[in-house]
Structure 1
Amino acid sequence: MKKIGALFLLLCAGLVPGQALPLSAEGRAEAALYMDVIRAFYAQQQNETAACAYYEKALRRAPQNPYLKRQMLACRLADDRLEEADAYADYITQPDPDAEDLAVYALYRWRKGDLKNAQDYYEQALAQSPEDPRIFYQYVLLLSFLDVDRAAQILQQRKADYPAFAHVIDYETGNIYRSKKDLPTALKYYNQATQRNPDYAEAYLARAEVYEKTSQLFLMLHELEEVEKTGYQSAAMYSRMASVYVLVKDHAKAKEYFLKAKALDAGDNPANYFLALYAEEAGQYAQAAQYLRDSADFAAQAGKWLQVAFYEQRSGNPAQALQTLKQAYARFDKNVEVGYFYALALMDAQDSRRAARVLAGVLQTNPQYENARLAYAFALEDIHRYRAMEEQVRAVIAQNPQNAAAYNLLGFSLAERKVRLDEAQELVTQALALRPDDRAFADSLAWVYYQQGKYTQALELLQSLDESFVRQNPEVSYHLGAAYAQTGQPEQARPWLERAAKDIRPAAKLLKKLGK
Structure 2
Amino acid sequence: MMFSCQSWLLFHPVGQETSATPNHAFPNEPRTRMKSGYSGLLMALLGCWLVAGCSHHSPQPDRPVIPVELAEPLPTDTPDTSPAPVAADAEKPAETVKSRAFTRDTLYSLLAAEIAGSRQQYDITLNNYAQQALITRDPQVAERATLIARYMNANQLAGETALLWVELSPESDEALANAAMALMQAGRATEAFEMSRRLQEKGKETLFQSIAANAADLTPADRENLLGLYIEQLKQYPEDEQLLIGSGLLLQMSNNFEGALKQAVLARKLTPESVPASLLEATLLHQLKRDDEALARLTEILETNPDSIRLRVQYARILAHNDLEAAQEQFRILSEQSPQDGDFRLSLALIALERRDMDVAVAAFEQLLDNNQHLSTAHYYLAQIAETRQDETQALLHYLQVERGKDFIPATASLMNILIRQGDLLSASEHIDRLIKATPDEADNLQLLYARALINHNQLATASRILDRALSQSPDNTHLLFARAMLFDQMGQSEQAEQDLRSVIEKDPQHASALNAFGYILADRNERLDEARELIFRAYSLRPEDPAIIDSLGWLHFRTGNYSEALIYLRRAFNLYPDDEIAAHLGEVLWVINEQEQARTVWLRGLETSPDSDIIRRTMERLQVPAP
Question: How many angstroms apart in 2 are the aligned matches of 1:357 and 1:33?
Answer: 59
Which residue number in structure 2 is paired with residue 399 of structure 1? 486
- CA deviation profile, 1:109-131 (whole Å, cap 9, x unmatched): 99797959984x8777777xx24
Could you list the runs of 5+ residues in structure 2 that have no partner in the other structure? 1-5, 12-43, 45-55, 65-101, 214-222, 252-258, 437-441, 469-480, 495-524, 526-580, 585-602, 619-625
CA–CA distance in structure 2, aligned partners of residues 333 and 137 of structure 1: 34
2:453 is the counterpart of 1:375:
yes
In structure 2, what residue type is equivalent to 1:12?
Q
From 354, 363, 374, the counterpart of 1:277: 354
Which one has a bigger Cα radius of gyration? 1
Q: What's the Cα RMSD here?
A: 5.8
In the alignment, structure 1 residue 175 sits paired with structure 2 residue 245: yes
Change (3 A) 1:236 1:304: farther
Structure 2 equivalent of residue 11 of structure 1: 59
Residue 417 of structure 2: aligned partner: 344
Query: Which residue matches 2:292?
Result: 218
- Partner residue of 1:193? 271
Question: Distance between the aligned counterparts of 1:439 and 1:140, measured in 2?
Answer: 57
Tell me, yes or no, if the aligned pair for 1:356 and 1:379 is still in contact at 8 Å: no
By how many angstroms is 1:132 displaced?
A: 4.1
SS in 2 for 1:247: coil
Specify whether residues 216 and 126 from structure 1 end up closer, same or farther in structure 2 by C-alpha distance, changes over 3 A only.
Answer: closer
Determine which structure has the larger helix proportion and give its number.
1
1:267-314 Cα shifts (integer Å, max 9, x gaps) = 313222111221x2x5x3x54333344459995575653332120122
Q: 1:272 to 1:298 in 2, by over 3 A?
A: farther
How far apart, in 1, do the equivalents of 2:612 and 2:10 lie? 92
**Cα pair distance change 1:292/1:136, threshold 3 Å:** closer
**Aligned residue number for residue 501 of structure 1:** none
Give the one of 138, 159, 172 matched to 1:66: 138
Displacement of 1:369: 6.5
1: CA distance, partners of 2:248 / 2:300: 21
Alignment of 1:420-459 (within 5 A): none
User: How many residues are matched?
Assistant: 377
CA shift in 2, pair 1:187/1:144, >3 Å: farther
| 1:326 CA drift (Å) | 1.5
Residue of structure 2 in register with 1:164 after alignment: none
Query: Relative to structure 1, is the Cα distance of residues 174 and 306 closer, same or farther in structure 2, using a 3 angstrom cutoff?
Result: same
Percent identity over paired residues = 9
Is 1:263 equivalent to 2:336 in the alignment?
A: yes
Kept in 1, the 8 Å contact 2:432–2:447? The answer is no
The TM-score normalised by the length of structure 2 is 0.45
What TM-score does the superposition give when structure 1 sets the normalisation length? 0.54
Distance 1:323 1:190, change over 3 A: same
Query: 1:208 Cα shift?
Result: 1.4
Distance 2:373 2:414 in 1: 18
CA distance in 2, matches of 1:171, 1:124: 17
- 3-state SS of 2:400 partner: helix
1:203 matched residue in structure 2 = 277
Partner in structure 1 of residue 205 of structure 2: 133
Query: What is the CA-CA distance between 1:134 and the residue it aligns to?
Result: 5.2
Query: 1:81 aligns to what SS in structure 2?
Result: helix
Task: Give the distance between the partners of 1:179 and 1:221, measured in 2 at CA.
Answer: 20
Equivalent pair of 1:235/1:262 in contact (CA under 8 Å): no
Equivalent residue for 1:152?
Answer: 234
* Distance in 1 separating the partners of 2:128 and 2:392: 61
Contact 1:204 1:224 in 2 (8 A): yes
Show CA shifts across 1:331-350 (max 9, x none): 66994432222222234555
Q: Could you list the per-position Cα deviations for residues 8-32 of structure 1 after superposition, in whole angstroms to 9, with x for gaps in the alignment?
A: 855334459xxxxxxxxx9998986
Amino acid at match of 1:233: D
Aligned-residue offset at 1:357? 2.4
Distance 1:215 1:389, change over 3 A: closer
Tell me the SS of whatever aligns to 2:135. coil
SS in 1 for 2:136: coil
Query: Quick one: higher RCO (CA 8 Å, sep 6+), 1 or 2?
Result: 2
1:254 corresponds in structure 2 to 327
Note closer, same or farther for the CA distance 1:405–1:53 as it changes in structure 2 (3 Å cut).
Answer: farther
- Is the CA contact 1:289–1:308 (under 8 Å) kept in the aligned structure 2? yes
Rounded to whole Å, the distance in 2 between the matches of 1:310 and 1:155 is 57
